[in-house]
Structure 1
Amino acid sequence: GEPIVHKTFHSYTVRAKQGFAQSSRTVTNHAKSAGASLRRYNEVSLLQHVQDILESWSFHINNSSLILYRAVGPYNRTVLFGGKNPPLDKNDLRLRPLPFPTRRATFSEVKRVYDVLSSMEIYGSASDFTDSFPISPRQPLRKKVSKTDGSGEILVENVEYDATNSTCNLQDSEKNKVSVQPSPERQHKNSRSHIDRAKPRKSPCRPLPDIVARLAQSSSESELDSQISTPNIPIVSLIEQELEIEFNENLLAFQDTVPRYMKNKKIRRQRKKAKKDECVLNETLTNAKVKLWSACKLGDDELLSSVINDLLIEIKKSVELENKLENKEDVTVSCNSVINKDDMTKLVNDPNEDGNTMLHVAALGGHLKLVWQLMEVGSDPCNKNKKLQTPYAAANDKETRNMFRRFMGANPDKFNYSKSQIPGPLTDEIEQEELEKKKQQKKIKREKDKVKKKEFELKKREEDAKQRYLNLSDREKRALAAEQRILKQGCIMISRCFQCGVDMAGQVPFEYNSNRFCSMPCLKEHRLRNKVVI
C-alpha cells in the first residue's frame, strides 16, 4: 500500500530519564521551574495539534475499513479518546490496538509496522499451504509444486532404500532424478528454508566418498586372500554363555599405588583436626557461651562481668600450664582444660541464626555497659548481620552510638574501625565542643526569634494604626492632619476630655457628636445630662 497522508512531529513533554508526563507530576509537586512550565505548555499544544490533524483527516478515517493505533498509558489514550469532542470513538468496531511493541514514532516505523501487519509468514512448504485452499472456478487449475532437494534437482520419485543390506540403490535413484536448473529465487528460498531442529529427522542415505569406498574394498579383498592362502587355520566361531560371578570371591581390590608415608601424613592431619575440634568444644566454653548470650539479652551487667572474669582466670591457668610444659615439668594436661585468648575472642564473635553477635544484641537492647565490656574482651564492631548492619548501625538510640564513639576515642588501635560505620571518635573535649556549639546555635536561634517577634509587633501596630486611620471620617482626618502640622511647627497640642477636661495625650479618645471623651463613663454622663426629647 501507498501512504495517502502522514505527519510526524515531536514535542518536549517528558523530563529526561523520568518517564512521567509533567501534568501527572504537577498535581502533587506544583513545580514552577522553567522546564516544568515549558513541558506543561508543550503538552497542551501537542494535544491540540494531534486533535487538529485527526480532524483534518476525518474524511480518510471515516472511509477506512480498519483503524490501527498505539497509545501506551492513560495520558496518551486521553489524546485520542478524551475531551468533549474526542477525535476517535472508543466504541468504534474498526479500532484495533497494535499487537506488538513499536520503536520511536517516525514515518519509517509506520511503514515497517504496515509491512509486518500486511505480510504473512508460512511455516512449511508453499504447496501444502496452497493445496489447503479450495480451487476457485474463475482461476485456472494450479499445478502441484514438486519438492526440491538441496542440490537444486527436483525429485519425481522416492529413492529406494534396502534395509537388509543397509545400502542405497544409487543407480535407480540417479535415473529417477531429473536434473532441472532451478531459478535464482527458488535457490534463495531453499537456502533460507526454516528447519525445526527439535523434531527428529530420518538419516539421509548418502554414498561413501571414493577414498573410503576404495579402502573398504581393498581391506575386504585382503581378508579373503589371507583366508584362501592359509587353509590350515581353523575358523573359530563365537559362543555366547551366561555366567554368575560372586563379588566376594572373584572381585579383587584395585591396586593401591599411594605410598605408605602419604597415607600416614593424611591420617595425622585428620587426627589433629579432630583434636582441635574437641578442644574448641569444651565444657567451660559452652557454659560460658550460654551465660553470655543470656546476659546480653537480659542486660545483666553482673552476670557478664562474672563470666568474663571466670574466662580470664581460666586463660591465666592455661598460660601457666603451657609455661610448665615448656620447662619440661611432669604435668598432665587434658585438651578440654586449655583455653586461649583466641578461643574467648571467637566465642564472643560467634553469630546466631540471624547473624547477630553478642555486641549486636547488646546494642539493640541499649545496654551501654555491656557494649563497652564486650568490646574490651574482643567483640569486633565491624561484624555484620544478615541485614548487613554493624552493631553501631543496629543501635536504636543516640547514647548507645555515642558509647561506640567513646570506645573508639579511648582505644583507637584496638580494631580496624574503617568498616564499622562509626563516624569518628568521641572524647570529653569533642563532646564539650559539640555542647558549646549547640548552645551557641540555640542562643542565635533565640535572638532571631526575638527579632522576628519585635518585627511582628511593629508590623501589627502599623496595621492597627492604618486600620484606625481608615475608619476615621473625613473631618477627623483633616483635624488629625492639622494637629500634625501644629506639632511640626513646634507648638504643643493638648487634647482634653469634653466632660472632665483631663489631658488625653497618648490615648485613643471616644467621639460622640463631634466631641471627644477620655472614657466611656464621661461619654455616658454627657449623654445623661443632654437628653434629647423627641
Structure 2
Amino acid sequence: MSSKIDITKPKTVKLFDLNDYEKLINGIKVAACMITESHQIDDNSSVSGSDSETEGPNSLPTDLFAAATRHCKAFFTNSSGQVFCIYRCILHHKKEELSTDGEGYAWVERCQHLTIPGYLRWAVLMVSGGHFAGAIFSGAIPVVHKTHHSYVTRRGQGQAQANRDQHGHMPRSAGASLRRYNQEQFLKHVQDIISGWATDLNGCSLVLYRAVGALNQGALFGKNSPLNRDDLRVRVLPFPTRKPTYKEVKRVHETVASIEVYENLELFQKALIAASAKPTTKTGSDTNAERSKKTQKSPGKPIDRAKSRERTPRELPMQMISSEDEGPCYIDSETPVDWIKVLSEQKSKGIVLNSRKDLLNDNSASGNTSCSEQDNVIDKKTKKKKAEEIKPLKHPISKIPTNVKRMWMAISGNELSSLETILESWEGDIEVACNTQDPVDGNTALHKAAIAAKPDMVLEILSAGGDPCIRNRHLQTPYASTPHHDTRIAFRMFQAQFPEKYNYNKSQIPGPLTPELLEQEKEKKAAQKRAKRQRGKEKQMEKNKTNEFLLLPDAEKVKADQPRCFLCGTFLPKKPFEYESFKFCTIKCLQNHRSLRPLHKSATWSVYA
C-alpha cells in the first residue's frame, strides 16, 4: 500500500485549551512503546499492533521502542484508545531521567501538572546571527516581547572572523572593526533586555531557548543574567528554527504547545515507524541504468581519443577594416603595422602569396624606424597630458620679492596681530603683493591670514586690495579655507561695509552681516538654548511624577488627583479603557495589566522538586 493510504494526518489539541486537554488525559497511561523492551515482552498481548503470523513476536515492539527513544516527544494513551504526543522539553529537563519501567507514573504525573493554574506561563528566547527575539506568554497571550538586530556577521567570512576575534588579532578593515563594535553592543543590549525581564522570568514555569554557539549563549547566560544553565526550568528547543523574529517566536510557542492525537494504536505505529525510517537512496545499478539511458538518447559516432583531432581550415574574414580608417592594428610586438591590410588585398585577388613570417622578414629592416616614430608619438602625447594637468596660477611670478615673504612670515607667526605698520611702510604696488600666490600651495596673503584665524589682518588685507575670489591649489577661496567662526564673520562684515568693492558671488561668502544682525543671531541662539533646558526640566519633572504614581498601590491610584494609566502612568484620554476599578490609556495596557496580575500566583519549577 502507498504511504498516502497508510498514514493519516493526526488531530491537533492545544495545551491552552484546558477543557479539551482535560478530556484528552482522562485515563492517561504511558504508551507501550515508551516502556522498556523487557516489560514489553512480558506483556506481549498489549503491545502487538496486529495478529500477523508472518512477523516475529518481538520485531514490532523492538522497532517501536527504538523509534520512541530517539524521538523528541513522549507518547501516551487514554481511556478512549487514542494515542497522543507531547514534547519532552515540556515534561522534564534533559538532565532528569524519568523511569520507563513499570507503569510510568512519573510521566503521567508530569502531564497532570500542565493543568495547574499559571503553569502555562512560558518564556521563549532565540539568538542567532545578530538577531534576538524573545517573548513571555501567559497561556496563548504574549505578555512581553522584544526583538533586536545588529550587524555582527560579514558575508563570506565563515569561521575566519571568529578565529581572528578569539586570537586577539587587529581588525583588517573598517567593516571588521565596525562588526566587532556592533557585536559588543549587541551582547550588552540583549543582556540588558534579559535583566529587565528578571521578575517576569522568575514567574515563568519554563524558559525555552535556541542559541547555537558560545557567542549566542553568552548573550543569554552572561554576567548579571537572571538565567542559569543548571536551572531545571531552562530547556533547549528540540527542533531547528528560522531567523529569530517575533513571528518565529510565536510559531515556536504554538508548535511546542501542540499535541498530536491519533485515533488508534495502529495509525500511531505506522506514523512513528515511517517518521523514523531513513529516505531511500538510489543504488549503483539505478544510476548506471540512468546513465545508459542518457547515452542512448544521444547516439553518435564513436570517438577515438587516442587520435589527434583534425584542424579544419578557416577562411579569412571577408570584410576587413583597413588600418587607414582606425589606425594600425597590432597583434603583438613583432607583427608589422600593415600586415592585415596586405593580407586583405591578397585575399581580394584570390591568392594569398605572403604569410605572416614573410612579412616579418621583409619588414625587419624598416622595423627600427617605425618603432622610433611610434616612440616619438607616445612622448608627444604624454607631454601634452602633463601640460594639461599642471594648471598655471592666476597671478604667476618668476621670483617672489623679499618684502612679500616677510609679510607671509608675519601673518603665519604669532608675534604680530596687525599688519598696519607693514602696510604703511610698503614700497611698491601693495595690491599685487597681497594677491601674489605661494608657488607651493597657491595661497595668497588673504588665504594665510584666514587659515591663521586672524580676523584683524583679514580686514586690513581686504582694505589694501586682497581679492577674496582667488583660489589656491585646492580650489578654495580665502573664506572657504578657514573653519574659524570669527574669521568668517569678519569676511561677512566687510562685505556689508563695502558691498561693491569685489565680486562676492565668486568668493563663496554667504552674505553680508551687520552688527545688529549679529546680535540678533546671538540672542536667537541663547533663547533656543534656554528653551531646550526648560523642556528638559519639564520632561524630568513629568518623569518623576509618573514614577511616583506607578509606585503607589492600586487603592491610592484610584484616589489620585490627576487620573493616569495604571500600567504606564500617562494621562488618560476622555474615555479611558477600564475594568473593575482600574483605568488605562489603551487596550494594550489593559491586556498587559490583566495578564501580569496573576504573576505571583504562577507555578514555578518547585513542582519538579
Q: Structure 1 length as normaliser, TM-score?
A: 0.32
Structure 1 or 2: more helix by fraction = 1
Select the structure of larger CA radius of gyration: 1
Task: Identify which of structures 1 and 2 has the higher relative contact order when contacts are C-alpha pairs closer than 8 Å and 6+ apart.
Answer: 2
